[in-house]
Structure 1
Amino acid sequence: MALSVVVAVALTGCSDDGKAKDTGQQAAQDFLAAWQAKDIAKAAGLTDSPDQAKTVLTAAQTQLDLRQGEYAPGAYTKADGDKPATLEYNAKLTVQGIPNPIEFKSSVPVVKVNGKSVVHWQSTIVHPQYTDGAKFKNSRDVPDRAPILDRNGQKLAGPTPAVAISVWPAKMGGDAEAIYAALADPVFDKDIPKLRDAVAKANPDNAVPVVTLRQDVFEAKARAKLAPFGAAIIIKDIVLQTSDKAKQLVGTVGEATSEILQKKGYENAGAGDQVGVSGLQARYQAELAGIATSKVTIQGAGDAQIAVLAEIQGKPGTPVKTSLDQRVQALAEKVMAENNGGKNAAIVAIDTKTGQILGAANNPANGANTAFTGQYAPGSTFKTVTSAALLQAGLKTTDKAPCDNTLVVNGQTFKNYDGLEPIPNADFRTDFAESCNTGFISQRDRLQNDSLTKTANDLFGIGQPWDVGTSTFDGSVPPAESANELAASMIGQGRVAASPLVMASVAATIESGTFNQPTLVTEPAPPGKLASKPLDPNIAAQLKALMQNVVQNGTASMLKGVGGDVGAKTGTAEFAENGEVLTNGWMIAFKNDVAVAVFVEKGKSGGSAAGPIVQAFLSAV
């Protein structure tokens, strides 16, 4: 056994011709692989000068603001006398803020140390002209950020004087705790533990962004708090894009952080740039920001330029145009603020002829964009879609459909909303006007389990992917798996889910007779917009008449006095919370060529909770 082990070791150390195996190529390749994986400690450990290698590799990566380095091995040359073995490699560097990769060739020398092949460290491994004491410099001149416009080309987000505040870790010293205490003031709205972590991980000589404040706020509430800390606080005057209208849609701009810069769309941005943080400002970061005029160089002693690695002529940002109407947007925000009853709520208004979004607002105004991304059972507002499916199946609005107190489906009892008295001789038109659940469910045998799915998808685009220019929830109407689930789906319960935007689109489709996918951004037009699709004219006319009758003779009678051609549908959707059954209030409506949807979380009913908001909006639109 001992002999076989000795032989095995001997065999692994020799080549076929009896000469020692050259392990230099593998050593160099391992170094490049670790370097490419950003494991600098491992790469440095494969050299004959680990500490120096780690220092230089780390500095080079920081100086470049390197997103990713690719180092492809090339030709290998064996050692020859005093000349070390070398492995050539092709570098392809993706540098933050530089649109195109920087490419060059260099080489990795390899020597033997105590019989082991290791990389012979020298700075020129990083780049042939990156000699000892050299450094990379990435100079950038950022263009002004382009504006976000309304449908008439007027600015929604415009320039505002502001101050970008950063800390300089190397200068914080003994004042660090006092600085953190000052920045804990609410005016800075900063997560201090997170800031501590960012400072700990940062290069001591790299600024760490803290917050951006409007200049008037900074002067009034912040300057004095930071004055004692001198050079440890970096204050930079900037021009910030802010919006007074449609803030949740337009979004915000702030100083780029390392986390933001790793996201798709931020490749052309650099540390310290003002970048989109949310909303359209984030979605269209690349278009709005443009490209900075940049120059990447290697500099030697006294900042003398040794080499130019990249030089980019910048381009100004491109404005983003939206479909928003500033008058309608202001009205949506006003009626939402004045009529929400202290509850979470949302409103969306759409041009029925085009699908273009005219305005949207939420309560709270600084919370989630429920108007576009909320996912809720739409309740009886979904009876518009159910009615379309029933009409397709041959139902006539004059067909008898008694409105009983309750209706049992396979042992499950469905009931109407509190206060609705039985209507024994009701026809379907009356059931729609009074929002009678039992009258609707009594017609379930006309439908297949997937009928509502097909109608929602084919006629109203629900469940198809909409690219309106920002994040949305586009609805879900899965096929029913039982008669009970079909019954629930018919009245907008069960697994049916929609956003206010989806239900506003339903109202718009019924008013115009054509499904036009909602859009928020018109230039640049989002790709993949769904094609417009007209409804059967007979069905469209009947659906419109049903909604008009809800105003004249049904649950939306509060809209009678708003003027114009008005139709509506109320909705009250049940949901369970902590063992209690609660309700959300809905209403969808149209007036002439404007459609609107309102959602009120935990509203008692559609008429009482959403009705006043719709009434105030349509009265003034």
Structure 2
Amino acid sequence: MSKKGWRRGVLVTGGVLTVGVVVAGISVLWPSDKKGPPPSAAATSTAEQGVTAESAARQFLTAFANGDARTAASLTDAPDTAEAALRDTREALRPASVLTSVTSVSVKDAAASATAGYSVTWQLGGERTWAYEGSMEVVRTDRWRVRWAPGVVHPKLAANQKLALRVDQIGPAVVDPAGQPLLAWDVGVAVLLDRRQATNLDDVVTKLSTAISPVDAKVTKQSIVDGLATVMSGQPYEVATLPEAEYQRIKPQIYNLPGVSFQSRSALRGVDPELRSYLMGSMHKALEGKDAGSRGWRVVAVDDASGGETVLHQQEGKATTPITATLRSEIQKAAQRALAAQPKAAALVAIAPSSGEILAAAQNAAADQLGDVALQKRVPPGSTFKMVTASAVLQNGLATPDTPLPCPGTTRVGARTLPNENRFDLGTVPLRTAFAASCNTTFAELAAKLPADALPTAAAQLGLVADYDVPGITTLAGSVPTSPEDAQRVEDAIGQGRVETSPFGMAVAAATVAAGRNVSPVLLRGRRTSVSGAIAPPPATALPALRGMMREVVTSGTAKELAGIAGLHGKTGTAEYQDDGRSHGWFVGFRGDVAFAVLVMDGGSSKPAVRIAGDFLNAVG
């Protein structure tokens, strides 16, 4: 076999990082993994291992390219020293791939020494590529071995020096309307999982999620399992990209897990730790790889003693103009603080009725465990849905705010008996009073008289059943089906039937009532939200009456503990979701140019949501 028939290196084939060996024109490929040697390094035939200086150099470079420090070091004359240095190098640069080759071999003494020329190309994430050539001494001891020296890694690397990657900071990628930085590009550590290499996949996934979820709330055991299902066999799944400091903190828990590898990766990072939220994570995920510009970077040799740096390679960068998000830092923080003390999963979304700008989308730690509750979690809205039902009643001429209507403790519609909370009985009262007290029986009897499509039509007018493609995030608003049967329409009318809404959807509805027109939510200025699905102009004649009824909820109704907040309009809701009476608590409304929705899952009543809204509104002034 001609020695010229050998070629080893790292290749990218079909998106899969592999190490390749070409033997006599036959290409053999296998996955690259930081843990173990490829077959070429561990299973080369006895007849060829160590026979020549050239084959020893090639075997070393193959293991070096593969990140297999132990095998590479075993092919040197100083295994312990070499292994430590090679591990440090790999950890410092965290390459996406490495390509190596032997470029020449000069034999000095056929029995004792030779010089092998080599080339190395590092792919350091993004468009960062570093290539160079050097040489190494190969000596004969018990067999041919590479003589270890720092210059084996790079020709200008001296004793007591280590390589390091430096990436320049650039301006923020995303700012709020006041110019406060929200997200900035940074170099993080991508945590990759190859399920084929994980000897006990369930154990590895459990340990990864346990270690990473405190750092990145989106990472759960289920999210990793779901993510693995989206990649082809043989391709690694990116579990998360962590900030360097966070990676170093949890590194002892994850570094040696089988099937787990690491790469340097550009990523968006939250600038203000207090603004760490599910929304920020969703936004940076949507913007990853966009408008990043290019960052200056350099590879340096760092002196162990002095800390001085010698530049080995550098490239200038170019910054970009930051994107402006509508998120207001002070409003987002106020929302997060208002939610923080609530032990149950809770979320708050705030939207400006005048512009549709999303001012805040916050949730607490308990909600983080359930996913994106603020923007996507749809649950029964309870009596907050009476905003929709009241609008339908007003439009269909069934009543005006001052129409006297019965509010008995219970009422029967078909085979269904519906009670008020604790069966309170107000006798006969104006519609506005029944709305403020959240009288189920009044609205049940009215709903039975509505057309089958009245509720979905009114919901469409308030933006509850449209699909919003909001650049930067993923949202779900609500679902309000047609109810041809009286019993089903009655359940839907009080938010206990098949109706489901998210905090995002209810915030849009409240903003629409406040604005008196359709509100298109937006998060990134200059990037238009596309709206599809059912939507219609809100009823101009009904909305002033509905606003008055929502004001009465605060002044004398179920949210009267917030009567001291001037100009506040709202609607409370308690939505049973289990036969045992367990229920979610809601409060939605608006004050000035802030419309909001608060959901406390399993809150038992609307009271916790009302308290959160009060704390939030008092904080934003």
After TM superposition, the score normalised by the length of structure 2 is 0.60
SS in 1 for 2:442: helix
Shift of 1:382: 0.5
Counterpart of 1:257? none
Partner of 1:247: 276
Indicate if the aligned counterparts of 1:287 and 1:317 stay in contact, CA closer than 8 A: no
Partner of 1:19: none
**Residues 317, 487 of structure 1: alpha-carbon distance in 2 compared, 3 angstrom cutoff:** same
Does residue 1:354 correspond to 2:355, yes or no? yes
Which of 486, 490, 502 matches 2:489?
486
Alignment of 1:387-536 (within 5 A): 387-394=390-397, 395-418=399-422, 420-467=423-470, 469-528=472-531, 535-536=538-539
Distance 1:185 1:589, change over 3 A: closer
Which range moved further: 397-406 or 433-442?
397-406
Q: Deviations over 1:121-175 (max 9, x none)?
A: xxxxxxxxxx9x9999878339977512212232112467x76388999xx9xxx
Preserved contact between residue 401 and residue 442 of structure 1 (Cα < 8 Å): no
Query: Shift in Å at residue 532 of structure 1?
Result: 10
| In structure 2, C-alpha distance between the alignment counterparts of 1:379 and 1:188, rounded to whole Å | 32
SS at match of 1:401: strand
Question: Which residue is 1:569 aligned to?
Answer: 571
Q: Which amino acid aligns with 1:440?
A: F
Task: Answer whether contact 1:344 1:600 (CA < 8 A) is retained.
Answer: yes
Structure 2 Cα separation of the partners of residues 225 and 427 of structure 1: 64
* Contact 2:465–2:534, Cα closer than 8 Å, also in 1: no
Give the aligned residue type for 1:289: A
Match of 1:611, as an amino acid? V
The 3 A distance-change label for structure 1 pair 226 and 489 is closer
Distance 1:479 1:234 in 2: 51
Q: CA deviation at 1:410?
A: 1.5
Distance change in 2, residues 1:553/1:181 (3 Å) = closer
Contact 1:500 1:597 in 2 (8 A): yes
SS at match of 2:405: coil
Match of 1:603 in 2: 603
Question: 1:46-85 maps to which residues of 2 (within 5 A)?
Answer: 52-55=25-28
d(CA) in 2 for partners of 1:210, 1:548: 46
Following superposition, the deviation at residue 290 of structure 1 comes to: 4.3
Judged with a 3 Å threshold, the aligned counterparts in structure 2 of structure 1 residues 389 and 163 are, in CA distance, closer, same or farther, namely closer
Which stretch of structure 1 is more off in the superposition, 463-472 or 381-390?
463-472
Specify whether residues 286 and 553 from structure 1 end up closer, same or farther in structure 2 by C-alpha distance, changes over 3 A only.
Answer: same
What pairs up with 1:291-370 in 2 under 5 angstroms?
Answer: 319-338=322-341, 340=342, 342-364=343-365, 366-367=368-369, 368-370=371-373
Aligned to 1:5: none
1:377 alignment counterpart:
380
Instruction: Say if 1:498 and 1:165 are closer, same or farther in 2 by CA, change over 3 A.
Output: closer
Residues 1:215 and 2:241 are matched in the alignment: no
Q: Among 139, 148, 156, which residue is 2:174 paired with?
A: 148
Query: Which residue is 2:559 aligned to?
Result: 556
The answer to whether the 8 Å contact 1:548/1:568 transfers is yes
Counterpart Cα distance in 1 of 2:495 and 2:205: 51
Q: Which has the higher helix share?
A: 1
Q: Offset of 1:281 from its aligned partner?
A: 1.3
Q: Residue by residue, what CA displacement relative to the aligned partner does 1:404-444 show, whole Å, maximum 9, x if unpaired?
A: 111112111111112x5212212211110110011011112
CA offset digits 1:423-474 (Å, max 9, x no partner)? 2212211110110011011112441111111111134353344436311112
Contact 1:466–1:517 (CA<8 Å) still a contact in 2?
no
1:164 alignment counterpart: 189
Letter of the aligned partner of 1:287 in structure 2? Answer: K
How far apart, in 1, do the equivalents of 2:266 and 2:472 lie? Answer: 28
- Report SS of the residue matched to 1:164: strand
Q: TM-score if structure 1 supplies the norm length?
A: 0.60
Closer/same/farther in 2, CA of residues 320 and 532 from structure 1, 3 Å limit: farther
| Counterparts of 1:180 and 1:234, CA distance in 2 | 15
Distance 2:213 2:322 in 1: 30
What SS does structure 2 have at the residue aligned with 1:391? helix
Deviation per CA, 1:532-552: give whole Å up to 9, x if none: 976343311101000011111
Distance change in 2, residues 1:148/1:408 (3 Å)? same
* Match in the other structure for 1:591: 591
- Determine helix, strand or coil for the equivalent of 1:568: strand
Counterpart of 1:151 in structure 2: which amino acid?
A: P
Q: Work out whether residues 586 and 597 of structure 2, in 8 Å CA contact, stay in contact via their aligned partners in 1.
A: yes
Alpha-carbon offset, residue 523 of structure 1: 3.4
Q: Deviations over 1:281-323 (max 9, x none)?
A: 12122323347999xxxxxxxxxxxxxxxxxx99755633211
Change (3 A) 1:376 1:409: same
Q: 1:613 to 1:188 in 2, by over 3 A?
A: closer
State the distance in 2 between where 1:374 and 1:149 align: 27
TM-aligned CA distance change 1:327 to 1:53, over 3 Å: same
One-letter code aligned to 2:431: F
Alignment length, in residue pairs? 440
Contact residue 148 and residue 250 of structure 1 kept, 8 A: no
Q: Distance in 1 between matches of 2:234 and 2:549?
A: 64
Distance 1:314 1:520 in 2: 28
**Does the 8 Å CA contact 2:185/2:292 hold for their aligned counterparts?**
no
Q: What amino acid maps onto 2:437 in structure 1?
A: E
User: Shift in Å at residue 604 of structure 1?
Assistant: 1.7
- Go from structure 1 to structure 2 and tell me whether the alpha carbon gap of 1:225 and 1:334 turns closer, same or farther (over 3 Å shift): closer
Report the CA distance shift for 1:210/1:618 in structure 2 as closer, same or farther (over 3 A): closer
SS in 1 for 2:387: helix
What's the % identity of the aligned pairs?
28
Q: Which runs of 5+ in 1 are unaligned?
A: 1-34, 61-130, 173-178, 252-277, 295-312
Q: Secondary structure at the match of 2:418?
A: strand
Does the Cα contact within 8 Å between 1:287 and 1:318 map onto a contact in 2? no
- Distance apart, 1:513 and its partner CA: 1.5
Any idea what SS the aligned residue of 2:406 has? Answer: coil
Asked if the contact 1:156–1:250 (Cα under 8 Å) also holds between the matched residues in 2, the reply is no
Going from structure 1 to structure 2, the CA distance change for 1:486 and 1:138 (only over 3 Å counts) comes to: same
